């Protein structure tokens, strides 16, 4: 018997439903293993944006990225047998480190990490302290994902998805929960978007506490999968991204985040490569903050005028700080040595 498409959509939405209670449970799972990152006022950015701008420093999180939050929440849910057999994950870097950290913190769970061949060396190097198997295969995230799923099925392991899992989304939502506690009067939150776990979790937490808060996603022009998904009403789960300094945001928008948050995200804006370069440089020069391209897109949106939040209290999530030193050097030369790009 064929199930009507509308019924299938309703069943899918029910299965992926996520609420504030799930985010609160996630916080209980990870609170003793991670830090509550600061929300720091930025005087210079506030001047430039003509508002009150606060930076959520997930680049200061353990492992250098928010990704570890979702990894811990997912792996905390596994049965003893699943933990014994081990897990498989695919990542361009930050989620890989998050899974490795979670595996060690939760009892030395065996981990195999698949990474695209273009993964920055800084992110691969961060895995050196963990007892994990690293396999570099696939030119894109989607290609690497397919290879890793085949490996996982053949060995009967548990797949830990970087964003397409409600438990991972709930873990990432603890970032939004913290912002709402640290700045209850916040009026807008700027969130980097790749696969969508962070923006979906943040939107669930923030809107549950204050439905008037605007949740604004920021994506690179090189990979506008979320922008197109929300604009056109269907999910671009795969997207062939152009080369970008924000490699962590490249690829498709997850069906789980799309289903959970399509009606909670107020807007998605796109920023270009030059704007991301300037944002990374600004954060380093003006705030002494090392932030990777993916983590700086919210600041890029403010500096470039892609969003007008004049007079508003704004939180900008700096989602990660794991930038390759050579890339950072190139940005400094390009922006500082040669003037405005």
| Domain at 53, CATH number | 3.40.50.1100
Q: Are residues 109 and 202 in the same domain?
A: no
DSSP calls for 155-196: HTPEEE-SSSSHHHHHHHHHHHHHHHHH-TT--EEEEE-SSS
Q: Are residues 208 and 77 in the same domain?
A: no
Whose CA is closest to 296, among 248, 231, 229? 248
Q: Are residues 75 and 49 in the same domain?
A: no
DSSP calls for 65-81: BTHHHHHHHHHHTS-HH
Q: What is the dihedral of CA 113, 75, 97, 68, to 10 degrees?
A: 150
Report the SS3 class of residue 245: coil
Calculate the alpha carbon distances from 202 to 72, 103, 188 in Å: 17, 24, 11
Q: Which of 110, 126, 160 is the last residue of a domain?
A: 160
Mean local confidence (pLDDT), 38-46: 97
Q: Is the pLDDT of residue 340 over 60?
A: no
What does the block give as tokens for 129? 């302290």
Q: Is the pLDDT of residue 338 over 80?
A: no
Q: What is the number of domains present in the chain?
A: 2
Q: Are residues 241 and 288 in the same domain?
A: yes
Q: Are residues 142 and 175 in the same domain?
A: no
Exactly one of 65, 92, 229, 319 is catalytic; name it: 319
Q: Are residues 200 and 313 in the same domain?
A: yes
Q: Is the pLDDT of residue 276 over 80?
A: yes
Q: Which of 160, 187, 207 is the last residue of a domain?
A: 160
Q: Are residues 150 and 197 in the same domain?
A: no
Q: Which of 113, 128, 160 is the last residue of a domain?
A: 160
Q: pLDDT tens-digit profile of 68-108? A: 999 999 999 999 999 999 999 998 788 999 999 999 999 88
Q: Are residues 104 and 237 in the same domain?
A: no
What pLDDT does residue 13 have?
A: 55
Interatomic CA distance for residues 25 and 87, integer angstroms: 22
Q: Are residues 172 and 310 in the same domain?
A: yes
Q: pLDDT tens-digit profile of 189-240? A: 999 999 999 999 999 999 999 999 999 999 999 999 999 999 999 999 999 9
Q: Are residues 205 and 311 in the same domain?
A: yes
Interatomic CA distance for residues 59 and 51, integer angstroms: 23
Q: Is 319 a catalytic residue?
A: yes
Q: Is the pLDDT of residue 4 over 60?
A: no
Q: Are residues 229 and 306 in the same domain?
A: yes
Exactly one of 42, 56, 65, 67 is catalytic; name it: 67
Q: Is 9 a catalytic residue?
A: no
Q: Are residues 85 and 191 in the same domain?
A: no
Domain encompassing residue 107: 67-160
Task: Kindly indicate the confidence band of residue 47, based on its pLDDT and cuts at 50, 70 and 90.
Answer: very high
What pLDDT does residue 121 have?
A: 76
């Amino acid at each position: 018997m064929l199930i009507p498409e509308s019924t299938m959509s309703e069943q899918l939405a029910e299965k992926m439903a996520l609420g504030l209670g799930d985010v609160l449970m996630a916080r209980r799972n990870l609170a003793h293993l991670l830090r509550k990152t600061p929300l720091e006022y930025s005087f210079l950015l506030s001047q430039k944006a003509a508002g009150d701008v606060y930076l959520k420093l997930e680049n200061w999180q353990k492992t250098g990225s928010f990704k570890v939050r979702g990894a811990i929440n997912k792996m905390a849910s596994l049965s003893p047998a699943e933990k014994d057999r081990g897990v498989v994950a695919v990542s361009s870097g930050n989620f890989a480190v998050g899974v490795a950290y979670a595996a060690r913190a939760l009892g030395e769970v065996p981990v195999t990490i698949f990474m695209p061949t273009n993964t920055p060396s800084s992110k691969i190097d961060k895995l050196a302290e963990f007892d994990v198997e690293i396999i570099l295969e696939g030119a894109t995230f989607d290609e690497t994902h397919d290879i890793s799923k085949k490996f996982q099925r053949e060995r009967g392991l548990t797949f830990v998805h970087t964003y397409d899992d409600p438990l991972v989304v709930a873990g990432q939502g603890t970032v939004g929960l913290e912002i709402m506690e640290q700045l209850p009067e916040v009026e807008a939150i700027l969130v980097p978007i790749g696969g969508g776990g962070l923006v979906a979790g943040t939107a669930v937490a923030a809107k549950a506490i204050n439905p008037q808060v605007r949740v604004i996603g920021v994506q690179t022009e090189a990979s506008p999968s979320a922008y197109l998904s929300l604009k056109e009403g269907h999910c671009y789960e795969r997207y062939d991204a152009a080369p970008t300094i924000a490699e962590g945001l490249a690829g498709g928008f997850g069906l789980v985040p799309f289903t959970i948050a399509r009606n909670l995200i107020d807007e998605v804006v796109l920023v270009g490569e030059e704007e991301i370069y300037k944002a990374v440089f600004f954060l380093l020069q003006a705030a002494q903050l090392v932030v990777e391209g993916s983590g700086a897109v919210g600041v890029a949106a403010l500096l470039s005028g892609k969003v007008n939040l004049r007079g508003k209290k704004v939180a900008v999530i700096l989602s990660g700080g794991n930038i390759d030193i050579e890339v950072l050097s190139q940005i400094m030369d390009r922006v500082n040595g040669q003037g405005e790009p």
